[in-house]
Amino acid sequence: MFKEGLRPAWVEIDLKALENNIKIIQSRVSPGSEVCGIVKANAYGHGVLECVRVMERNGIRNFGISTLSEAIQLRKAGVQGRIIMLGLTPEMYVDTVVEYNIMTGFADISYAKTLSEEAVKRGKVVEVWGVVDTGMGRIGYQAKDPQAVEEIFAASQLPGLKLAGIFSHFSTSDFEDRSYADKQERRFNHIREALMEKGLSFYLCSLANSPATMDRPSSHFDLCRPGGIFYGRYQSGVTLVPGIQPVMSIKANIVQLKNVPEGFSVSYERSLITKRPSTIATLAMGYADGIPRPWWEKGKVIVNGQYAPFAGVICMDQCMLDVTDIPNVQVGDEVVVMGRSGDLFIGAEDIAAGVGTIGNNITCGCDVRLPYLYLE
């Protein structure tokens, strides 16, 4: 029992597994390309400051975030490396960008000019890159828009700005069909080469996400941006890499056991009615702790080396299990809600597949109130 967490449910973060994953990722990156540790969303729910320290110890000096508050948190924690905003930042926040030395992207010349003015006013130089939409359909200049090359070049000439390169994002690099990813890479190269023909040189062009980092070296350019794979997360099995380990486990202790008769109703809506005399175990965690409510229908946990199904709908703060077929279950027994126990395993992807989402969606939801235990 993790007493310091002040509740009988917690998250375990295996920092040795994270370090193992970092080393495997680094071994796949092409010579001359740097690694950016994507630590947005509290390092995908794994604890940003603890994960950043492990990354720093292993030579990573670039960190990708998605909000200004995330960047400020890192700076106030003493992170000296490059902090890269992976989205677009409204002009009203250029003072914060300059103050905290955040590398940002731009997709129109107006933002670049406003940032330039702020940097000059403060006597500083800030790094930027041009954001190009090569096929994700999210942010950036359209790759076929002639204004893309013209405005990115114009931004490179503004005082107070240092154009590091261009940035885009794959949408299907984890598909077996590589044709669309090939098209995105060609579009990226077209913009990059057009800018180089105008006399620009780059040191931080970036296209590769996790799958592309693992198996698409032609897309590595100057900076790879692996994200979920740091934490053992995958969105498909196409780019599975041997040795990558899940970093997060979720565990809880049984707080109550009850023996009930046939026809006993359990949870909201009487969602389970026992068909035999049963033993029901209760955990003090629920969907407010990141375990999706619909998971109860297909889901399971690991109790004393055996799988056990949920018994009824998962509640906000509690959930119930059917442990009838598991011998010697006691109050206080440790239950693995997500993770490994011996040869048995329940991954974030298993939970995600059961409710129609992806593994990152599961891990990002656990840090609202579950206490964290970091294993060195």
Collapsed DSSP state (helix, strand, coil) of residue 5: helix
Beta carbons of 280 and 320 less than 8 angstroms apart: yes
pTM confidence score: 0.93
> What residues pair up with 162 in beta bridges, in sequence order?
127
Contacts of 326 (CB under 8 A, 6+ apart): 303, 304, 306, 308
Q: pLDDT for 50-104, tens place per residue?
A: 999 999 999 999 999 999 999 999 999 999 999 999 999 999 999 999 999 999 9
Residue 177: φ, ψ to 5°: -75, 110
Whole-number mean pLDDT of the chain?
Answer: 95
Q: Which two tokens stand for residue 289?
A: 């702790």
Could you say which DSSP state residue 371 is in?
Answer: -
Q: Which residues are catalytic?
A: 40, 268
Mean pLDDT over 231-256 rounds to 85
DSSP alpha helix (H) spans, the chain: 15-28, 40-45, 48-57, 68-76, 94-99, 109-122, 146-156, 179-197, 210-215, 295-298, 348-355, 359-363
Domains of the chain, earliest start first: 15-231 (3.20.20.10), 248-346 (2.40.37.10)
pLDDT level of residue 176 (50, 70, 90 thresholds):
confident
